Each structure stands twice: as C-alpha cells, then as structure tokens.
Structure 1
Amino acid sequence: MVDIRAERARMSMRRRLGEYLVDAGVLSETQLKEALALQEEQHGFLGQILIEQGWITDKQLCQVISQAMNINCVSIDSVLISEEVISLISNSLAVTCQILPLFVHNNILYLAMENPRDTGVIQLVEYETRMQVKPLMAPLCQLNEAIAAYYHVDDTDKREPTGHSGTCDIDITPHITREIGFGQRKRLGNILVEAGLLTDEQLKHALELQKRRKGFLGKMLVDIGWISEDELCQALSDTLQIESVDLNEVHIDLQARKYVTDSLAASSNIFPLFTEGDTLYIAMENPLDSGVVLYLNYLTQKEIEPLVAPPHQIRALIQKYYPSVL
C-alpha cells in the first residue's frame, strides 16, 4: 500500500540531500536532475544512485550528510572493533537498520549508522544496551562491508556489483530501503509549532532538554505542561492523516503481542493492538519513528499500520501485558 504522505516526505528529503550535494560543489544541477529521474524509476536511495553513476564517492556523500546534520563522520577502517562490542547489537537489528557498534567509552556506545537521526533505532539500542548512544556517520560502502563481515547477511540482501566507478561489492541500501531523515525529532516539534501548540522557543528548549533526559519529546512536552496528550494526538492525527484512537475503547487481540518484544514495546512506547490479514496495527506515541515501523515490518513480514494513541495509555498497556517491564 502506498502512503502518499510518506512519499511526499521522502521526495522532500531526496531533494534536500541533492541540494546539499550541489551546494557542496560535488554535484551539478544537471546531474541532480538526472539522478532524481533515475530514482523515480528505481525507487532506491539517492546516494546509492549517485555513487553508481560515478558522480560522487561514498566518502563525499558521508561528509556532506555529516556536515548537514552536524554529526561526526568516521572511517570504520580505522577503528578496531572488538567482538564484545559487536555482541551488544543483535544480528537482525544491525542488518535491518544498517548500524554497527564501534566502541564504548564512559558507558557511551559509539554507533555507526546509515541514518543517525533515526531516533526510534537509537532509543531501542539505548534500551537494549542500557548505554547512551552517540550516533556517527560512516561511508555507506564501509558500513555495509563491516556489517557483512561482523554479522550474518543473507544472500538475498546482497546483489552483484554494477561495475560503475565508486561502487562497493554489496548493496549500499539495507534490506528495507531507508531514506536520510534530517532531524527526526524536529519533525514532531515542527508539527506542533505549525499547529500553534508550541512556540519556536519552546521547541528549542524542549530539544535541548531531551538531549539531557533521553526521553520521548511528546511525553516531555506533556510533562512540562506546554501541551496536553489530547492536543498531541490530535495534531499528529490531523497532520499525518493517521487515525487517533482511545485505547480504552479499542478491541485488543492479545495474540498480537507475539509480534512485539517487551524491550521494543518499552523502549519505543508502542503496543500491538490487532491484525487484519497481513496488516499489524500498532498504537504509537510518535508515528514519525520510521525506524521502529521498518524494523517491525522486517521482523513480522507484515504491513505495519501505526495509530496515534495517548502516551500514558500505551505505557499502561505495556505495564499490564508485558510482565517483565517494570
């Protein structure tokens, strides 16, 4: 099923990435126009297409995105990674989300990521490891080759090299194509600002506070008293055209719990409600957490349909139906 809103968002991200590359002088306007046309045909990652065409290198791509996001870019080849660190991240999470643990310092896990703004994945890793995560950019070829070396990658996740200059021997997109998202947290905040529920100054303060507290932005805003849970749900529902539900009035099929582990439910504040055919309906505090949606899609092999629900209702269900969660 095609999500028109998500497709528009991806189009915006693609153009923005292209503009960064043009502004950095590594790509011409003509090349960008041609690459975007190719992307419409192939439905792939813009960076991959540019590399395959030989117009940029993966290191140039990494540097440009790194500068745009204000996140450090690291060469994986220069890092000695221990087996102990590798064991912190499961095979399925590493391969699906294209992440690689590099090293630990002062209980901070330094994590190479394809998309270092994927807060859903970052929150999940922090919950699983009980460590703070410091995301780092890495050249895509290096990242994929390292993941293939340290983790099990099925043959279906690989492809033959294209022979173009600058390509690597394995696909530089993951099993599920992911786009570079500039500022996942800020998108939720921008929705609330545009809805008139939050000022720019309040958003800036909340994002700074979130860096220190490592919590959900929506919950933090509710706790501060700047918005109510009803306002949060309504704003997300209206903007994203995603149904908002009252979990006290929704039928819950407890068999659906098998699709979501307790750690994923607790770390991402989501709860599986029911299935209809090949679709799994998930109550989410923040349906913008695309990393969680894609991860569930990969694990369950089902279409994931997010529903917006009040955060406190989701937490109450998790505590009730997942006994291991305190």
Structure 2
Amino acid sequence: MADRKRLGDMLVEAGLIDNIQLQAALANQKQWGMRLGAALLELKFISEKDLASFLEKQLDIECITIMSRELSSDLTDAIEPEIAKKYVIFPLEVDEREIVIATSNPLDLQMLDDLQFRLGRSIKPQLALESEIKRAIRFYYDNIRDEETVPEILQPPVVDKIKMNVEDEADMSGAAKSATTKITTKNVMEALLTVLEKKGILQRAEVFNEIKKKL
C-alpha cells in the first residue's frame, strides 16, 4: 500500500485534497478493497480529469485516449478479462517480452509487480482515465455494443448537410452534384458494417437478423 499512500501524500502536498479527505479515502480503500484513486473519485474528493492532469505533470507523461485508437481484437488474448477488470487495466501493445497497459495510476507499483508476476512479461504503464479503461473493457472484453462503448474510430462520420439554393444547385457540374450525393446514410452504415466485420467484431448476418426481429 506504500505506493498508494505516496500518491495520497502527493495529492495533499499539491493541495488537491486535504489530510482528512485522504484518511477517509484510505479507510474506504481498506473497507472495500479498492484502489486509492477509485476511492477518492467515489467520495468525490477529486475529479477524474484533475487526477489525470496531476499525474501527467508529476510523471511527465500524456493521458492517452484508448477509444480513439485502432486496436487489434487479439490484444485481449494477452490479459484475461478477470485480471483486466480486477486491476482496471487494458492492453495497448503486446510482444513476447513486454505488455503496454492503460492504467489510471502508473504509480501503483504493487499492481505492476503483481501483473509482471502473473503474466510473465515486463509491464509498461500508460496513463488513461479510469472511465475510458472501463469503456474499453466493456467493448473489447464484454462485447457490449452501444453508443457509449463503440470506439470513435469505428463510429460513422458526421456528415454536414450542404445547404444550397436552387441557383447554386443549377450552377453545379454533374460531377460536383454526384460528389454531394455519394455520402448517404446507407453508404455510411455499409462502410461501418464492413469495418466491424473485417475486425471480427460482428457478422453482417447477425445485424440483418436483429433488424428483421424489429420489423
């Protein structure tokens, strides 16, 4: 627990929490077996973004955004879902010697030691918001597909509607008119289905079956 207490002391020294709040969070941590950072967030003593910003400055690292990355679906094979959920981590890069993980507390040396022992590889932490990590776990491990969990990189682009009057439309060339009509909802959904199918996330037939059920 020494590394977690050190994080708490650092937050007190920075004026982000006071000693009474730290002691309350440590008591909550001990009672429920949770991480100190999670206890501070649950008690609303500090915001998730303020905590991440503090760690960015202290460790001179960047807080990454997991769901904006194009991740391979086989990354989750490196870490079992039970381990990912227990430590609230997510694999970002994997090779034979090292696993790069997203974690909300890169200072948690006990966690890093436990992971290195259990996984048999060197562990390199990258800072990420805990909510972002949980979102990735729901999407890649639990196969939950909704607006909250689908990665930005897989979401259909927002297509701005082109407003034009009759005279402007009449002045447009045939090629220009064609370009404005090519991007349709049908085309966007078709492209999205193709990407998801290639990544092995879903099968096109499953989507059509779900649509038929709702008709």
Give the TM-score normalised by structure 1: 0.40
1:258-285 per-residue CA deviation (whole Å, 9 max, x = no partner) reads 2211111111111111236743210012
* Cα distance in 1 between the residues matched to 2:40 and 2:118: 31
Alignment of 1:119-158 (within 5 A): none
Residue 306 in structure 1 maps to residue 137 in structure 2:
no
* Cα distance in 1 between the residues matched to 2:122 and 2:26: 31
* Cα distance in 2 between the residues matched to 1:275 and 1:213: 32
**2:104 aligns to what?**
285
* Cα distance in 2 between the residues matched to 1:201 and 1:217: 14
Aligned residues of 2:52 and 2:128 also touching (Cα < 8 A): yes
**1:207 aligns to what?**
26
Letter in 1 for 2:42: D
Find 1:320's aligned residue among 139, 155, 169: 139
Residue 246 in structure 1 maps to residue 65 in structure 2:
yes
Aligned residues of 1:233 and 1:310 also touching (Cα < 8 A): yes
**Higher Rg:** 2
Tell me: CA distance 1:262–1:324, structure 2 relative to 1, closer, same or farther (3 Å).
Answer: farther
The number of equivalent residue pairs is: 144
The gaps in structure 1 that reach 5 residues or longer are 1-116, 118-182
Letter in 2 for 1:314: I
* Cα distance in 1 between the residues matched to 2:29 and 2:113: 24
Shift of residue 306, structure 1, vs aligned partner:
0.3
The answer to which structure, 1 or 2, has the higher relative contact order (CA under 8 A, 6+ apart) is: 2
Aligned residues of 1:242 and 1:306 also touching (Cα < 8 A): no
* Cα distance in 1 between the residues matched to 2:6 and 2:91: 24
**2:75 aligns to what?**
256
**1:184 aligns to what?**
3
Tell me: CA distance 1:277–1:318, structure 2 relative to 1, closer, same or farther (3 Å).
Answer: same
Aligned residues of 1:254 and 1:274 also touching (Cα < 8 A): no
Letter in 2 for 1:263: E
Tell me: CA distance 1:218–1:323, structure 2 relative to 1, closer, same or farther (3 Å).
Answer: same
1:13-66 per-residue CA deviation (whole Å, 9 max, x = no partner) reads xxxxxxxxxxxxxxxxxxxxxxxxxxxxxxxxxxxxxxxxxxxxxxxxxxxxxx
**1:216 aligns to what?**
35
Aligned residues of 1:192 and 1:198 also touching (Cα < 8 A): yes
* Cα distance in 2 between the residues matched to 1:287 and 1:237: 10
Letter in 1 for 2:127: V
Aligned residues of 2:99 and 2:123 also touching (Cα < 8 A): yes
Alignment of 1:8-27 (within 5 A): none
Q: Alpha carbon RMSD of aligned pairs, Å?
A: 2.4
Give the TM-score normalised by structure 2: 0.59
Shift of residue 257, structure 1, vs aligned partner:
1.3
Tell me: CA distance 1:319–1:228, structure 2 relative to 1, closer, same or farther (3 Å).
Answer: same
Find 2:44's aligned residue among 215, 225, 233: 225
2:45 counterpart SS class: coil
* Cα distance in 2 between the residues matched to 1:294 and 1:213: 21
Find 2:54's aligned residue among 212, 235, 246: 235
Tell me: CA distance 1:231–1:256, structure 2 relative to 1, closer, same or farther (3 Å).
Answer: same
Tell me: CA distance 1:249–1:323, structure 2 relative to 1, closer, same or farther (3 Å).
Answer: closer
Aligned residues of 1:271 and 1:284 also touching (Cα < 8 A): yes
Tell me: CA distance 1:254–1:289, structure 2 relative to 1, closer, same or farther (3 Å).
Answer: farther
Shift of residue 213, structure 1, vs aligned partner:
2.6
Shift of residue 294, structure 1, vs aligned partner:
2.6
